[in-house]
Amino acid sequence: MFKKSDKKLVSQALKGNQSAWVDLVKRYEKLVYHYGVRMLPSPDDAFDLLQDTFSSVFRSLKDWNQDDKFKPWLMTIAHRRCVEFYRRRHIDVLDNELQTDLIDESTFGQPEPELSDQQQEAALVKAIRALPLAQRMVVELKFFQHLTTRAIATQLQESENTIKSRLYSGVEKLKRELEVING
C-alpha cells in the first residue's frame, strides 16, 4: 500500500482535505496516546492529552516548518501538553495513592512467584510513573520514542549533558524501583 508522506498529508489538510487530516491523526494517535499513558496518571488523562495535542496541532499546522520532520514536532507538542497538565494540576507523582499502589501489603513475607510479561509491563509502567517528571520524559523519549540524546536535548530545549544526567538518574531510579516491586 502506498503511504502518503506527512508533508503531503499536511499540505492537503491545509487545503481543507478532511480525509488527509484523518489519515494524519490515525497515523499518530496510538503513539501520542501511549506516550500519555506512560506519562500521565490515568488512561483518561492520556485520552485528554491525545485530544489536546491534535487540537493544538490542527490550530498550528500552518506554522509547521515543512523542512522539519512532522513526528518530532507532534511529540514536542504532546510533551508540552504533559508539562501543562502537571502545572495545572500541581500533581506530585509520588503522592500517597501511587505509593500505596506500589506496595501491596498482602504480599509481605511471602515468596513472590515469577511475574508474567503483563505483570512486568505493569510494574515498569508504575516505576516510570514514579519518576520525577523531567526524568520520566527523558526516559520516555529515549526508550519508547527511540530518540538520541541530541534529539531529546533539542526537543526539550536542554543541554545534552542535562539530558544524559536525567537519563542516568532516571534509569538508576527505575532499577531500584523495579527491584522493590519485583522483590
CATH, residue 33: 1.10.1740.10
User: Is the pTM for the entire model greater than 0.75?
Assistant: no
- pLDDT of the residue at 29: 94
Residues 163 and 104 in one domain: yes
- Residues 31 and 175: their CA atoms lie apart, in Å, by 25
pLDDT at 30: 93
Q: Are residues 63 and 130 in the same domain?
A: no
**d(Cα 98, Cα 19) in Å, to the nearest integer?**
41
Closest C-alpha among 110, 128, 144 to residue 41: 128
Is the four-CA dihedral 58, 63, 69, 72 of positive or negative sign? negative
Range of the domain at 133: 93-183
User: How does residue 122 score in pLDDT terms, banded at 50, 70 and 90?
Assistant: confident
- Number of domains comprising the chain: 2
Integer angstrom CA distances of residue 124 from 109, 127, 175, 176? 22, 5, 10, 11
35 near 47, Cβ under 8 Å?
no
Q: What is the pLDDT of residues 91-103, one digit of tens each?
A: 444 344 444 444 4
Share of the chain above pLDDT 90, in %: 23
21 and 78 assigned to the same domain: yes
Residue 3: band (very low, low, confident or very high) from pLDDT cuts 50, 70, 90: confident
Q: Are residues 79 and 97 located together in one domain of the fold?
A: no
